[in-house]
Amino acid sequence: MTILKLDHVAIVVEDLAAAQQFYHDHLGLSVSRVERLDDQEVTIAFMPAGESQVELLEPTNDTSGVAKYLQKRGPGIHHICLEVDDIGAALADLKVKGAQLIHEVPVTASDGTRFAFIHPKSAFGVLLELYERPETGKRNGGLLAAVRAGLEAFRKAL
């Protein structure tokens, strides 16, 4: 498995506007877009940071998986996403090495992006996402699908 880069860090926040203001005013990051994902009960602000991104996640109600995360752990890192060169090989290698996987087979988004999650129990309390982009794929469609799957995986892990 070759890790190509840190794709994004997803951070759960209680107040999306205040978090955006902090990251902009203190770190110079600008929001590229904000998406409300009603099926995942979350609003996400995407903030490019070099070749990576910071994703700020705010629950849209008090009963969502992200809301439960906030209630249990408070604001903070939700998951870390690593881009890999071959997600199938990476998952096979992790399985042989005994890692607990949420997805043993990669999920394919509509743009061809493939992703899978490693359970926090195997990654010392961190929900890890592996991400493989198609060489000519578009970033945003696969990213949103991966975010949706990651939030669902986290719900199941609770």
Whose structure tokens read 């199938």? 88
* Cα 39 from Cα 57, distance rounded (Å): 14
Structure tokens at 11: 């951070």
Cα-Cα-Cα-Cα dihedral sign, residues 60, 43, 120, 74 = negative
User: What are the backbone dihedrals phi and psi of residue 45, each rounded to the nearest 5 degrees, phi first?
Assistant: -105, 125
CATH fold of 3-157 reads 2,3-Dihydroxybiphenyl 1,2-Dioxygenase; domain 1 (3.10.180)
Query: By the 8 A CB rule, do 69 and 153 touch?
Result: no
More confident call, 134 vs 137: 134
Rounded Cα gap, residues 85 and 82, in angstroms: 10
**115 vs 152, which has greater pLDDT?**
115
- Pairing outcome for strands 107-108 and 42-49: unpaired
How many other C-beta atoms can be found within 10 angstroms of the C-beta atom of residue 70? 20
In the predicted model, is pLDDT for residue 8 greater than 90? Answer: yes
Distance CA 124, CA 142 (A): 26
Of 58-67, 101-110, 119-128, the one with minimum mean pLDDT is: 101-110
- Indicate if the pLDDT at residue 145 is higher than 90: no
Q: Which helix (H) or strand (E) holds 58?
A: strand 52-59
pTM more than 0.85: no
Judged against a pLDDT cut of 60, whether residue 137 lies above it is answered with no
Query: How many CB atoms sit inside 10 A of residue 149's CB?
Result: 19
* Per-residue pLDDT reduced to its tens digit, 31-64: 999 988 887 799 999 999 999 999 999 999 999 9
pLDDT computed for residue 56 by the predictor: 97
Other beta carbons within 10 Å of 52: 14
Q: Domain-by-domain residue ranges, the chain? A: 3-157
Length of the chain: 158
Q: Are residues 120 and 72 in contact, defined by beta-carbon separation less than 8 angstroms?
A: no
